[in-house]
Structure 1
């Protein structure tokens, strides 16, 4: 077999990743001769420690430089154990592989989705909604029925419409979607597009279903129902490089924001069988970076996968970027192009076929959450935490209780509906300003026991109010939980915010900060904005 010539250009992104950008020399027809071109992120400090898939569970890459930063598993580090202890999610034998999220876990999932939605506009994505089931005939067009049927759930309709070839006189056959790309192809095809409109970028959070083998199901890392931050970019051939660079920059920003440890980027090429498209199309697309995983690409094109280890040392696929010239051809997608443009083809005057780039940043939100649960070990950053703050009362007389409830309303940004009131008063609607999860403990327990309980539940901030706070409408703040749960950089950022808002008096004592109740919300808004 003819060896492949490989040209690598090393460069450093501005953040935390050292990578090699590789291209296959055009005259070489196959990547079969390429071996490993590895790319690993720089090691990051685990939060709380200071310095002095798409398969879910993947085998370790055959690479001596593969990261091994996560130590041997312990029960306390397992996301399934932590998820139960923190009341994040549960499971049921009535729906194997489909986690049920409790309010705490749902809060974190919604924060993850909200985080991505906030980034989408600056990266040019528009969110869409698509159906959960499609007819078999659509999956045949996309190639999923031929290549992915065993991993799909089949659904029967009631009665035949006879509108699709092969369905005359038969009940309609449907497939529950395992991915969003066919639906996004339908969206692109539903409108006329000029070359000036491209790239068109769609994002979708709708649930996906894959019929995984029951014995392989595991917690949140290998499931049958999951949510993926699924995105598809329809672009011109000359835009491919920039779009992949943007996607990789997006991935790198996310990894840095969440403080994720060392990860690996892997290039997967054409499978030995069960692929669509011509060999020429595949070979023309295989000049992408990094560590090579031959034969593990999707059936429609090569892909870049971001893999991260869990506490068991297993690798899980998170982000993915996949290049696809096949689906646009199968769906007969096109855009209008003017003569003289680089992508103008005289054989199809005025029309050209777009390139499709599949991309997911988190990958499966469930799997991403599992990694975060183990990474943070129960001490969530404030902006993600399901237990952001709790107000403890020293005395339970009426003025103190009233002050605690008023403080909770001001700090959190909303007022609860008092269902016990004689006359039900509904609060005014809330704008899109951030709201915070602030609980109140007005039980008869002693203050020391309340504090002990709050710390065991890993609240980020503990507020205390008593009769001494009535005169000046103040509140005492214990921020030790927030500091202990932060990385060195996070603790430094938090201290800087405290100094800005409170002054030098905030330094040196994390247990007895005194603030005006009206000023606390400004602190929380800064923590939210700065991802502390």
Structure 2
């Protein structure tokens, strides 16, 4: 090989000579064996633009648009195109940041007025013009100080603020047409690489997520390698919108929020409160049968306790405080302190362990108004919280028992799951040795059960690592609900102990855990998972009796009374409305069964149930219908729940 050539090694091990200075794009095109659509590449493991020139021998690997990294690059590049279109249509707009995110991208803008749907349509049209022009995307580098001056001249104060926070002496830019954006890259070679995109919505967002900063306009969008992928995703969004728990919560009359009360505070209506009661009753029974003890702790605890636990130093920004008789109190964001004080209320022996304390405890956390989201992110919520105090040698069994508990319960609701282990965050308490012991215990429990997991570095609680269980719902979305946290630190801070078999004092280990998590959040997830059509055992109204005429009202009332005595949650619709209207309303309320009662049913002293899926059943007695519901409840809950749960 002569000095004007370089040796390129492809990811499959093949080698080929190329002229020195050839672009990565040309190398991949010449050596390509698949139909992959490359948007960037790696040279010796480092991600680069396709237009990068290769001057030395190297290992070259293409990054295709349908890979995770490739899709992120495609979407990030589309965000730049969107920002370019906004600047062309709204020259006064100031650009902030525009990253790729899961399922799409966004870009934040400082503009005089909020964007409208008509604005999004204009921006989309301009983006299509930019894409059709196949504008070259070029990388440039500049000294940081020079870059600050450049953006100051452009009036882009948000870019200036970002640059002033950088430490690198040199920064990179990408330019397409007249649009220049501060960016690390890599990016697509030209705008024509974008084949399918859609702007989704617009929302307000504080600069850098700080409510004390300027409110910006955030435009969300998405992009895919082809139109089929985009179409599939838009169909998914349409289905997700149908299932939105905020809309269904209003339509099904489950819950509401009120500015008069305050943001993030849920008001449960009768049906929503009944579902919550069913969930809580189910939980209490499940915990009692597993050897947990029910406890209740106060909402207010002295601030000195929160300082002792480390919450004051490490979690204070999420807490509320008040003062009573010149004494500072913290409103509890968690239930663990009271549970430790219960444990410490008397001397414990190794024979007492493990001790499992369970509380459906209502907690308060100071969430920023911008992140509040229906039931999924609130300021007051109830956790199915438990703390297990055990000997170190009992730790593995207790963790595995919790895992079994989670898996069994999630199976009842029809959830699949994934598991993650979150390790020590930068802001934390405790020794490295204790953190290592706790992390090893969680890993050992999962591996002992053969359960795969991912590691999330630095995402643990401030007092210990945790297993996070991510539920997969009917739309294959992930939701964080159950968690298991292993804690050697708080038992030390609160001087918890037990008398061992040797007669000496020893330190217990504490497991913090939730199964459903926040009841509010779990209910929101359930509403979307079931699209509001709850299974019979969980439905607030299991059946509605519908009269054809006023002549059947008396008999229908007797049927409802009989069913209620048998444990059936039944309503009577005897309004003077057309039958079709009443049936349609029951369907919209997603009631599992409709009991249409006409002259034939009165004469036969029976009912003809009609399922919400349209299946018409034969005439039967109220007693037989209750037996049918009892069987359905038992089957769907693996024998756990019948008609009389409430």
Q: Does the alignment pair 1:335 with 2:498? A: yes
Quick one: distance in 1 between partners of 2:465 and 2:285? Answer: 29
Aligned pairs for 1:311-350 (under 5 A) are 315-339=478-502, 349-350=503-504
Q: Are the aligned partners of 1:71 and 1:311 in contact in 2 as well (CA < 8 Å)?
A: no
Q: What is residue 388 of structure 1 aligned with on the other side?
A: 542
The CA deviation at 1:311 is 9.0
Aligned pairs for 1:113-192 (under 5 A) are 113-157=280-324, 159=325, 171-192=326-347
Q: Which SS does the other structure have where 1:118 is aligned?
A: helix
Larger % of helix: which? 2
| Residue-pair matches, total | 396
Q: Does the alignment pair 1:264 with 2:418? A: yes
Q: What is residue 562 of structure 2 aligned with on the other side?
A: 410
Larger % of strand: which? 2
Quick one: distance in 1 between partners of 2:586 and 2:431? Answer: 61
Quick one: distance in 1 between partners of 2:545 and 2:474? Answer: 34
Quick one: distance in 1 between partners of 2:288 and 2:264? Answer: 33
Quick one: distance in 1 between partners of 2:301 and 2:562? Answer: 47
TM-score, normalized by length of structure 2? 0.59
Q: What is residue 103 of structure 1 aligned with on the other side?
A: 270
TM-score, normalized by length of structure 1? 0.71
| Cα 1:313–1:446 shift into 2, 3 Å | closer
Q: Which SS does the other structure have where 1:123 is aligned?
A: coil
Q: Which SS does the other structure have where 2:418 is aligned?
A: strand
Q: What is residue 84 of structure 1 aligned with on the other side?
A: 250
Quick one: distance in 1 between partners of 2:600 and 2:633? Answer: 30
The CA deviation at 1:471 is 4.1
Q: What is residue 448 of structure 1 aligned with on the other side?
A: 580
The CA deviation at 1:220 is 1.0
| CA RMSD of superposed structures (Å) | 2.3
| Cα 1:297–1:60 shift into 2, 3 Å | farther
Q: Which SS does the other structure have where 2:402 is aligned?
A: helix
Quick one: distance in 2 between partners of 1:475 and 1:308? Answer: 39
Q: Does the alignment pair 1:435 with 2:598? A: no
Give the greater-gyration-radius structure (CA): 2
Q: What is residue 286 of structure 1 aligned with on the other side?
A: 439
Q: Does the alignment pair 1:377 with 2:531? A: yes
Q: Are the aligned partners of 1:412 and 1:521 in contact in 2 as well (CA < 8 Å)?
A: no
Where in structure 1 are there 5+ consecutive unaligned residues?
A: 1-58, 62-67, 160-170, 340-348, 414-433, 485-509
Quick one: distance in 1 between partners of 2:617 and 2:511? Answer: 53
Q: Does the alignment pair 1:249 with 2:412? A: no
Q: What is residue 522 of structure 2 aligned with on the other side?
A: 368
Q: Are the aligned partners of 1:476 and 1:512 in contact in 2 as well (CA < 8 Å)?
A: yes
Where in structure 2 are there 5+ consecutive unaligned residues?
A: 1-100, 104-231, 444-452, 638-646
Quick one: distance in 2 between partners of 1:394 and 1:72? Answer: 39
Query: What CA deviation, in whole Å up to 9, does each residue of 1:278-317 have, x standing for no partner?
Result: 1111122221333111111111111001124679987542
Q: Which SS does the other structure have where 1:204 is aligned?
A: strand
Q: Are the aligned partners of 1:209 and 1:226 in contact in 2 as well (CA < 8 Å)?
A: yes
The CA deviation at 1:225 is 0.5
Q: Are the aligned partners of 1:230 and 1:363 in contact in 2 as well (CA < 8 Å)?
A: yes
| Cα 1:531–1:314 shift into 2, 3 Å | closer
The CA deviation at 1:222 is 1.1
The CA deviation at 1:371 is 1.0
Q: Are the aligned partners of 1:72 and 1:312 in contact in 2 as well (CA < 8 Å)?
A: no
Point out 4+ residue stretches in structure 1 off by more than 4 angstroms.
Answer: 309-315
